[in-house]
Amino acid sequence: MLSEKINESERLTISKHAEKRLHTRDVSITDSEWQKITEKAEEAKAKGVNDALVLTNNAALVVSTQNNTVITAMNHDEAANHIFTNINGTIVVKE
């Protein structure tokens, strides 16, 4: 099973800041999206990406691949007018 392939050290943690943003901005991400995000973050890390912008069907996340941590999160409406800095890779996850 896919979840068995992703060991604990590879799972993404959500920072308190990102958790608050997900909640206050009413952003929901499915378990299958989290799995895809985790897999792609690992691939990005292997390619030398340190900080990635992750775009899903309804959210934009900034992920530190070095720390396996979601740094911040927002919905697509907020992301549409936002300039993302200090990232060196982008991951698009479509469900």
pLDDT tens digits, residue range 6-46? 445 568 999 999 999 999 999 999 999 999 999 999 999 99
pLDDT tens digits, residue range 58-67? 999 999 999 9
CA angle, residues 85, 76, 8, in degrees to nearest 5:
70
**Which run of H or E residues covers position 77?**
helix 76-80
Q: Is pLDDT above 80 for 53?
A: yes
Structure tokens that stand for 67 in this block: 């720390």
Distance, in Å, from the CA atom of 33 to the CA atom of 82, rounded to the nearest integer, reads: 22
- Give this prediction's pTM: 0.86
Contact partners, residue 58, CB within 8 Å, separation at least 6: 27, 28, 29, 75, 76
Q: Supply the pLDDT for residue 3.
A: 41
